[in-house]
């Protein structure tokens, strides 16, 4: 079903969703209505997100949760493992697991900001897995999950339908929605933004107009799908940073129909309507915002999801790659495929980088040297897809990430050896 946060109605069995009311005294087939809220009941209508699910059994029917000991590298903000460091960080691709590992146990937290208890900030995880979540399902009470595969297709089975997700696509799974993940081609790797804040939404378009960037019509939400399986399933939840597990005697994927505007969705990043300069200068990367999680301060995001897709570079008399900069916002970057135009080397697909508030960064020396010498004919940056999670607070890395053997110890070197500028004779004295 096409659209972002549209009000959908979908039935896996015709007649499953009651007509004209959400919770009639007697429901079709005796299904149990349940409201899933993504915003406060009283949130303004334009922001309000909720759905009504019609299921074989109420989700309330479960025994107590007990602590879950897996997913040992999954962590939650505030991150206090290490004293905050202003240093720039970069990582080689996350290695694939040697042992059988599913999506949940294969999550590795790189860092994050804010505080889950205050519903502020976000965490960044990478996953590397090689087997499906078998007889287990997960939901995240701590936040919404934006999943961006880098290698290998995933099948997401969610309460509200199924999503097949390939590299260069992203999925949004709302806070609380139960899901399981199955890699379709053996191994899989990718990135996750766990958003503790306000759910991601499309950015305003301002003077761009009514169309452009990520278009509403290109978001896809699955139709209702359920399984009627009376076999034990381990249900794991993340709540305030800890994992908890309970056992259900049946599949949690028993929603026969639902309606509402809170649902998982998929977006193909190649559908992005990229806007760039047709005159001069390199515009701020906010023109590449796919989704934004706003903060309480207008215009300052809790998290922006920004991409660097294939695009024509035509700027005249311009240094075309990203410029040197120091940003009040903090930037975590990943690469799905190809080469990123500010980094001639060292930033590989499956890798990552972190440039926190006020950290000096920009093109590495090789990219700089090439760009100042390049003929300025129209040039297409092609076959690439980098992205950035940009937030208002510095991201603090986990010890796991900072001390990983795939953390690059020599990242600073990519900015060494720049030649001093040459002033005209007589102007260079103190």
Ligand X SMILES: O=C(O)Cc1cc(O)ccc1O
Question: Which residues define the annotated binding site for homogentisate?
Answer: 361
Q: How far is the CB of 386 from ligand X (least distance, A)?
A: 8
Beta pairing class for 219-220 and 169-173: unpaired
Find the part of the chain contacting Fe ion (CB under 5 A) among 42-50, 90-98, 240-248, 331-339: 331-339
For residues 125 and 190, the answer to whether their CB atoms sit within 8 Å is no
| Shorter beta-carbon distance to ligand X: residue 97 or 322 | 322
Our finding on whether 388 is near ligand X (CB under 6 A) is yes
Alpha-carbon distance of 33 to 27, in angstroms, equals: 8
Find the part of the chain contacting Fe ion (CB under 5 A) among 52-60, 64-72, 217-225, 323-331: 323-331
Beta pairing class for 122-129 and 188-195: antiparallel
Alpha-carbon distance of 381 to 160, in angstroms, equals: 37
Our finding on whether 342 is near ligand X (CB under 6 A) is yes
Q: How far is the CB of 37 from ligand X (least distance, A)?
A: 35
Find the part of the chain contacting ligand X (CB under 6 A) among 56-64, 118-126, 134-142, 321-329: 321-329
Interacting residues of 236 by C-beta distance below 8 A, sequence separation 6+: 68, 70, 71, 104, 136, 137, 138, 139, 243, 244, 245
The listed partner (ligand X, Fe ion, none) that binds 388, CB under 5 to 8 Å by sort, is: ligand X
Q: How far is the CB of 288 from ligand X (least distance, A)?
A: 8
User: Is 282 labeled as catalytic in the residue annotation?
Assistant: yes
Using CB under 6 A as the binding criterion, the count of chain residues that bind ligand X stands at: 10
Alpha-carbon distance of 327 to 360, in angstroms, equals: 8
For residues 266 and 214, the answer to whether their CB atoms sit within 8 Å is no
Q: How far is the CB of 336 from ligand X (least distance, A)?
A: 15
The torsion angles phi and psi of 356, rounded to 5 degrees, stand at -85, 170
Return the residue of 159, 331, 341, 390 that touches Fe ion, per CB under 5 A. 331
Q: How far is the CB of 286 from ligand X (least distance, A)?
A: 9
Beta pairing class for 233-239 and 136-140: parallel
For residues 96 and 185, the answer to whether their CB atoms sit within 8 Å is no
Instruction: Please give the residue whose beta carbon sits closest to Fe ion in the complex.
Output: 331
Return the residue of 181, 331, 356, 401 that touches ligand X, per CB under 6 A. 331
DSSP-derived secondary structure for 142-200: S-EEEEEEEES-EEEEETTEEEEE-TTEEEEE-TT--EEEEESSS-EEEEEEEE-SSPP
Return the residue of 18, 93, 111, 322 that touches ligand X, per CB under 6 A. 322
Instruction: Extract the annotated binding site.
Output: 361, 379
Our finding on whether 361 is near ligand X (CB under 6 A) is yes
Among candidate residues 7, 282, 325, 355, the one labeled active-site is: 282
The 10 Å Cβ neighbour count of residue 55 is 20
**What distances in angstroms separate CA 173 from CA 88, 200, 304, 352, one per listed residue?**
30, 10, 16, 22
Q: How far is the CB of 150 from ligand X (least distance, A)?
A: 18
Our finding on whether 285 is near ligand X (CB under 6 A) is yes
DSSP-derived secondary structure for 241-271: TEEEEEEESS-S--EEEEEES---EEEEGGG
Find the part of the chain contacting ligand X (CB under 6 A) among 211-219, 324-332, 411-419, 420-428: 324-332
Residues forming the site for Fe ion (CB under 5 A): 331
Which residues of this chain interact with ligand X, rule CB under 6 A? 282, 285, 322, 325, 327, 331, 342, 355, 361, 388
Which residues are the active-site residues?
282
């Amino acid at each position: 079903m096409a659209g972002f946060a549209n009000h959908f109605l979908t039935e896996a069995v015709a007649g499953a969703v009651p007509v004209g009311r959400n919770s009639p005294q007697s429901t079709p087939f005796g299904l149990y209505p349940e409201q899933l809220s993504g915003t406060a009941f009283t949130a303004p209508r334009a922001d309000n997100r909720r759905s009504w699910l019609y299921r074989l059994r109420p989700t309330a029917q479960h025994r107590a949760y007990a602590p879950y000991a897996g997913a040992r590298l999954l962590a939650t903000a505030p991150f206090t493992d290490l004293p905050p460091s202003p240093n720039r960080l970069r990582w080689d691709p996350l290695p694939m697991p040697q042992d059988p590992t599913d999506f949940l146990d294969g999550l590795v937290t790189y860092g994050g900001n804010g505080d889950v208890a205050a519903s502020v900030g976000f965490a960044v995880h990478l996953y590397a897995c090689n087997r499906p979540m078998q007889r287990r399902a997960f939901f995240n009470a701590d936040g919404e999950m934006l999943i961006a595969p880098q290698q290998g297709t995933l099948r997401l089975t969610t309460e509200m339908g199924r999503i097949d997700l390939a590299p260069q696509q992203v999925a949004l799974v709302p806070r609380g929605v139960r899901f399981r993940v199955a890699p379709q081609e053996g191994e899989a790797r990718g990135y996750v933004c766990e958003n503790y804040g306000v759910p991601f939404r499309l950015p305003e378009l301002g003077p761009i107009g009514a169309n452009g960037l990520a278009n509403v019509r290109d978001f896809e939400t699955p139709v209702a799908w359920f399984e009627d399986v009376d076999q034990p399933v381990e249900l794991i939840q993340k709540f305030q940073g800890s994992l908890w597990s309970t056992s259900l005697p049946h599949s949690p994927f028993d929603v026969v129909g639902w309606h509402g505007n809170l649902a998982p969705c998929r977006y193909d990043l190649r559908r992005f309507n990229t806007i760039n300069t047709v005159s001069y200068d390199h515009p701020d990367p906010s023109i590449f915002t796919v989704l934004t999680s706003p903060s309480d301060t207008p215009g300052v995001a809790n998290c922006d999801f920004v991409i660097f897709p294939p695009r024509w570079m035509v700027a005249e008399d311009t240094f075309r790659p990203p410029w040197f900069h120091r940003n009040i916002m903090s930037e975590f970057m990943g690469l799905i495929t190809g080469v990123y135009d500010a980094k001639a080397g060292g930033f590989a697909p499956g890798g990552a980088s972190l440039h926190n508030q006020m950290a000096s960064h920009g093109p590495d020396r090789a990219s700089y040297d090439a760009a100042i010498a390049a003929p300025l004919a129209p040039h297409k940056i092609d076959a690439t897809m980098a992205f950035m999670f940009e937030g208002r607070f510095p991201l603090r890395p986990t010890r796991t990430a900072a001390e990983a053997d795939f953390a690059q110890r020599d990242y600073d070197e990519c900015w060494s050896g720049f030649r001093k500028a040459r002033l005209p004779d007589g102007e260079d004295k103190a």
